[in-house]
Amino acid sequence: MSETEPGAAKQRWALKIEYDGAGFVGWQRQANGLSVQEVLEAAAAKLEGAPVASIVAGRTDAGVHAAAQIAHIDLARPIAAPSLIAALNFHMQPHAVAVLQAVAVGPDFSARFSAIGRCYRYDILNRPARPALSLGRVWHVKRPLDAAAMQEAARHLLGKHDFSSFRAASCQAKSPLRTLDRLDIQRNGDILSIVAEARSFLHHQVRNMAGTLVKVGLGEWPPRRVRDILEAADRRAAGPTAPAEGLTLTAVRYSVDPFADGESGGDSSERRSASGETL
Amino acid sequence: MSETEPGAAKQRWALKIEYDGAGFVGWQRQANGLSVQEVLEAAAAKLEGAPVASIVAGRTDAGVHAAAQIAHIDLARPIAAPSLIAALNFHMQPHAVAVLQAVAVGPDFSARFSAIGRCYRYDILNRPARPALSLGRVWHVKRPLDAAAMQEAARHLLGKHDFSSFRAASCQAKSPLRTLDRLDIQRNGDILSIVAEARSFLHHQVRNMAGTLVKVGLGEWPPRRVRDILEAADRRAAGPTAPAEGLTLTAVRYSVDPFADGESGGDSSERRSASGETL
């Protein structure tokens, strides 16, 4: 890397990333299979000519998708945003991972610790027939779901609670307290979606809430029971963990959104080349 | 098939079918690979205990998807709609084909000849980054498309015209005259969709119109040129054939829609079992 001056300060890059979770062991590197992190870091290392570490906003589980995951990496190699995007996407082929935007940010920005909100969408295909076009992207629930009952149940989960009943045994968070800012049920044809937003979630929290809301939607549990489940603070009180393939990380929020202004090289490499070419 | 009385009149069934075109040689049976028709007919034959032939509304090409393809089959075996759907979907596993609805119709109904309209949607992923979540469902066009210019160009194609310029050499239609009822450009985030509706289309007509509209959207051709292309009545005058994977058959119209009333066993086998159980 003759262009890289030894000891020069590295540039931090915020990356917006889309991926299909199928075929990955999740975001995080693991010995038992390919992770999204490994694919991204390998591509960045090829560009940098040296190992590159990434920090991510949402460590999605195996099979979970992302429409707008955020990660950051530090690169010594000078590069324009559109070129960085193109190079990473080239090197990540043929994997179903794509960098959508890249923005040069200051060293204080952390994709993980600067994040003030995570948004997830859980999609359920609610019809008798199994999925064809939505295969691998939905939980297939054959019997009709009562969206109004699910929305009523969801209201009990809003706000700050001890979410122990919705927490995986493997969860490493220090506290089971979380503040749920949004939990909406939306129906679009055969697809029923659960939209959840919080500063952060416990491990499996969204999938465990989805499994519980489906119990309500099927009429097996009254909406009011969700309050009892919360109060029990016991994982055995809640419903099953919904399958990973229905879950998508849709957005990460920052108090100052690095992708909000026109500095991104991603939205349109043509229109924004003037700003994208300078760091 | 002890339940089937020899010589008994067969029941005609209209089927609404969803499939992912990837991995199929198209709807129609071919020697060189697996077709959707073959998957459906093999499943129906298992149920019937005898060969079953299907007639389809839209003979989609290799790689083209369907959200609501319509076909009909004739079965001697008495069966309720929800059971028919479940049996076909069971036997069609693991292929990405699903029967969504089944309705008992009269012998005069033909999925193909009773159809008075076909609707297709052509999806373009319009951003620099390659597709991850939409992989196999879109045509990836990196440079920004001018949707307004494309819509202006599309207006020239509306109505009855000689569509020879948009017709594949392999097209077997007797006449190149077609009446285009709708050609709309819609943008939803990174996805730009072309929505086309006509009584029927020539072979590759939608994909050839898409290839031409993209030329306009990229600014390579002015919208007015589409009128010249039409008048040339020469395939070489128009743009390239857009890739199959961006195309989805979204609806088939009938003057009397067999799926319009509550008789279908598909929308909800639970709620409609009373009507669905009787032929």
Candidate from B98, B127, B132 with C-beta closest to A131: B98
Candidate from A98, A132, A266 with C-beta closest to B132: A98
CA distance B36 to chain A (A): 12
Give contacts of B269 with chain A, Cβ < 8 Å: 128, 142
State the span(s) of chain B assigned CATH 3.30.70.580: 11-113+255-272
CA distance A194 to chain B (A): 19
Candidate from B86, B98, B144 with C-beta closest to A268: B144
B20 is catalytic: no
Residues of chain B with pLDDT under 50: 1-2, 263, 266-279
Check residue B264 and give its pLDDT. 53
Question: What does CATH list as the number for A117-251?
Answer: 3.30.70.660
CB A132 to CB B271 under 8 A? no
Check residue A89 and give its pLDDT. 97
CB B96 to CB A65 under 8 A? no
CA distance B94 to chain A (A): 10
CA distance A39 to chain B (A): 13
Give contacts of B128 with chain A, Cβ < 8 Å: 82, 85-86, 266, 268-269
Contact status of B191 with chain A (Cβ, < 8 Å): no
- Best of A69, A133, A248 to substitute, by most chain B Cβ atoms within 10 angstroms, is A133
Q: Which residue on chain B is closest to A96 by alpha carbon? A: B132
CB A269 to CB B128 under 8 A? yes
CA distance A228 to chain B (A): 29
Q: A73: burial class by Cβ within 10 Å (0-12, 13-18, 19+)?
A: buried
Contact status of B61 with chain A (Cβ, < 8 Å): no
Q: How far is CA A80 from the centre of its chain?
A: 26
Check residue B170 and give its pLDDT. 86
What is the value of pTM for the model shown?
0.89
CB A20 to CB B135 under 8 A? yes
Contact status of B49 with chain A (Cβ, < 8 Å): no
**What number of C-beta contacts closer than 8 Å exist between A and B?**
83
Check residue A273 and give its pLDDT. 32
Check residue B15 and give its pLDDT. 98
Candidate from A142, A144, A269 with C-beta closest to B271: A144
Contact status of A96 with chain B (Cβ, < 8 Å): yes
| Cis omega (within 30 of 0) for bond into A94 | yes
ipTM of this predicted complex?
0.86
Question: What does CATH list as the number for B11-113+255-272?
Answer: 3.30.70.580
Check residue A257 and give its pLDDT. 94
Check residue A5 and give its pLDDT. 55
Check residue B255 and give its pLDDT. 93
Candidate from B82, B93, B132 with C-beta closest to A19: B132
Q: What is the pLDDT along chain A (279 residues), one digit of tens a residue?
A: 445 555 568 999 999 999 999 989 999 999 999 999 999 999 999 999 999 999 999 999 999 999 999 999 999 999 999 999 999 999 999 999 999 999 999 999 999 999 999 999 999 999 999 999 999 999 999 999 999 999 999 999 999 999 999 999 888 899 999 999 999 999 999 999 999 999 999 999 999 999 999 999 999 999 999 999 999 999 999 999 999 999 999 999 999 999 986 545 544 433 333 333 323
CB A129 to CB B89 under 8 A? yes
State the span(s) of chain B assigned CATH 3.30.70.660: 117-251
Check residue B267 and give its pLDDT. 44
